[in-house]
Chain A
Amino acid sequence: MTVKKLEKAAFDKWVSACITSQRVFGVQAKEDRFVFAPLANAADLRLDYDVTILPPKKYFQPPRETLLKFDRNEGFESVFDNQPFVLFGVHPYDMVAISQTDKLFSQEHCDTHYVNRREKATIVACDVQNASKDVFAGCMGTATVNDGFDILITKIDNDYLVDIRSEKGQALAETIKDAEDADDISLKLRKLVWADNAELLQKHKLNVRPDVLPKLLGRSYEHPVWKEKSERCYSCGSCNLVCPTCYCFDVRDDVEWNLQKGERYRVWDGCLLAEFAVVAGKHNFRANRADRYRHRYYRKGKYVPEKIGEVACVGCGRCITACTANIANPVEVYNKLVDEGK
C-alpha cells in the first residue's frame, strides 16, 4: 500500500498514539535480554533488540490457556479471547514462524482459540537492526519477510520507514496518514538493509539449502549423531519451549475449591520431555532420549515441511542459546549429516 517515513520523534509519537488507543505489546529489555511485554511508553520499545527470550507465539498460544469452562453438572462452555491487540517489533524470522503456525492451526480442523486471537492481532514487524549471537535466519531464507504482517518497520539511519500492508495496518497508522511518503533513496537503502541482513544473520552457516533438509533427513534416521548428542540431553524441553514453530500442548483440568466449577486448559508441552509419548497404561512410546532428540529435528526438517511445504526452522537461534548442554544447534547437526553423507 504505502510506505511512510518518520523521524525518531514522529515515530515515538505514533507509537504513543497506538498505546493510548490500543492494547500494545512490544519488545523491551529484561535484564540483559529482551522480551515481548505490555508496552506502557514508546521510550521502552527496543526495536534495536537482537532476539527475544520467547518468540511472540506466546500471544497466540499462551503458555497456559483456558480452552473451556465447565460445571460438573452442566458441562462445558468454550472460552475465547477476542480482545484485539497490537504486537510491535516482530522480527522477520518470527513472522515466518507465525505464518506457519497459522497454517497448522487453521488447516483441517480449525483451532478457533488460536485463530480468533490471531485474527484480532495487528502485527507490526520490524527488520533486524542487531544480529543475535546465534541467529542463522540468513541461511533459512527468513532474514527478511514479505508477508503475514500488517506493517513493516525498517530503520534507515535515524528514520523509520513504515510500510503499511493491510487494512489493520492502515487503521493503526491512521495518525500518520499525512506523514511524508518514503523517498526513492530510502526505499533503495531499505533494499540494502534486506540484502545486508540476509548476509549478517548467519552466525552459524548451514552448508545446505533448507529445502534439501527433508531429503537429507530422509536418509539420516540411523545416523550416530542422534545418540551422540542426546547423551548430553537433559530432556528439559528448553529447545521446544523457546522455539517459534513448536506448538505441541498438553490439556489439563482443574476445579475450584467447590469441586463443581473449573476449567480445561492447555499448556505448552515439548516432544523432548520424558513423558511426551506416554499412554494411559504408562507405556512410553518414545522412552529413549535419542529418539526424542531426533524427533524434534525431524519435525522441523521433514514432518512439518511435508504438511505445509516449508521447513519449520526459521533460524532464530533461540534453541542454541537456551540449551545449557549446548547440543541443540540445528546447523551443527544438519551440517554433520551433510558432511557424513558425502
Chain B
Amino acid sequence: MCKCDSNKDIYLPLPATLGKVQPMTNLESFFSCQLDSGKELGHMPGQFVEVSIPGIGEAPISVSSSPTRKGSFEMVIRKVGNVSQSLHGLNAGDKIFIRGPFGTSFPVDDAMKGKDIIFVCGGIGIVPVRSAIQYVLDNRDDYGRVIILFGAKTPSDRLFVEELEKWREDKNVTLLETVDHRDESWSGPEGVITTLLPLVKIDKDNTVVVICGPPIMYKFVIINLLEAKLKEDQIYLSLERNMKCGVGKCGHCQINNIYVCQDGPVFKFSDIKDIEEAL
C-alpha cells in the first residue's frame, strides 16, 4: 500500500529541552527550546509544532522565532488548556516533546521578496508573525519598507515589549501600536487596530500584508485593505483551528475542504475568501 518504513511514526514526539522560560503577561509565557537531537527544528516562519507533555497531552503551538536565529526556537504560550497550563509550570532544563514543524509558512522567500511588508498583529497574533518579522529584519535588504502594526487589549497585554522598543528605534522599521483600552501606563493611541491603517501610506502595487489576530479582526482589516486597493493575493493570514494530529488525518482543524494543519495555517486571502467557514 505504501513504501514507507513501517516503524516510522508520524505521531511520535521527539525530546527537546527548555532553555529560557519567562512570564510575559498574566497569561503568556516565553519559552526557548532545543531539540535533544542537536538538529535545528527546520521550520519556516508561520509554521507550528505539536508540543507534548506525557500524560497531559499535546497542543499545537506556533513557532515564534525565525529560522535565521540558530540553535534554539522560541514559543510564546497562552495558558488556555491542559498542555499550556502544564507548560507554564515548567522551568529551564525541563523536557518537553515536539512533533513538526507542520503547515504552510509566510512567503518570506517568494511573494514577500522585494515588497513593502505590512505586518498587522492583534494580541497573541504577533506570536507567529514575529518569526516572519525577524526573518525579514535578518534579510533586511531583500524587502522594501517594513511596517508593523500591533494592537493589544491593554498595555499589560503587550507581548515582546523589549523587542517592540527595538523595532521602534530601528530606522528601517515603522512600528505603530495601539491598545483597545488605555491605562495610566500608556500614552500611545487607543482604539482597535484598524485605526492604525489610515496612518500607513500603502504602495498598492508593491505591498504584501501579513495578518494574524483574533477571528473578528480579519474581516475588518481586510475590508480596509481592499478599500486601499490592495489585491486579494497580496494579503496573507494565519488561521487558528484545533490542529490535533498536525498531519491531515484527525479532521479537527478542517475548514470546509481544507486542513489548516496542512493547507494552512498561513493562507493567501484569495485562496480562502470563498471558503465559507474560513473567516
Contact = CB atoms under 8 A, between A and B. Distances in A.
Interface string B1-28: 1101111111111010000000000000
Nearest to B15: A75
Interface residues of B, number: 46
Nearest to A305: B257
The binding surface of chain B is classed by DSSP as: loop
Interface in B148-192: none
B241 A277 contact: yes
A253 B80 contact: no
B7 A251 contact: no
A177 interface: no
Contact of A76 (B4, B8, B97): B97
B10 A111 contact: yes
B136 to A, nearest CB: 28
Interface residues of A, number: 58
Nearest to A214: B257
A135 B257 CA distance: 27
Contact of B242 (A115, A119, A279): A279
Contact of B80 (A78, A104, A281): A281
A84 B153 CA distance: 57
A75 B97 contact: yes
Contacts of A298: 256-257
Contacts of A283: 215
Interface centre among A111, A271, A306, by most B CB within 10 Å?
Answer: A111
A264 B277 contact: no
Given A75-B15, A115-B1, A255-B55, A306 B257 contact: yes
B245 to A, nearest CB: 7
Nearest to B79: A280
Contacts of B58: 251, 253, 264
Interface residues of A, dominant DSSP: mixed
Interface string A257-275: 0010010101001010000
B9 A248 contact: no
Given A78-B7, A115-B1, A279 B241 contact: yes
B244 A113 contact: no
A278 interface: yes
B12 A277 contact: no
B6 A108 contact: no
B196 interface: no
B250 A110 contact: no
Interface in A169-183: none
Contacts of B257: 298, 302-303, 306
Interface in B243-279: 244-245, 247-252, 254-257, 262, 276-277
A119 B6 CA distance: 10
Interface of A: 67-68, 70-73, 75-78, 80, 102, 104-106, 108-113, 115-116, 118-119, 221, 247-255, 259, 262, 264, 266, 269, 271, 276-283, 285-286, 291, 295, 298-299, 302-303, 306
Given A68-B11, A72-B55, A280-B81, 9 more contacts: A68-B12, A76-B52, A106-B1, A108-B248, A259-B55, A262-B55, A264-B52, A295-B256, A298-B256
A-B residue pairs, 3 tightest by C-beta: A248-B251, A109-B247, A280-B81
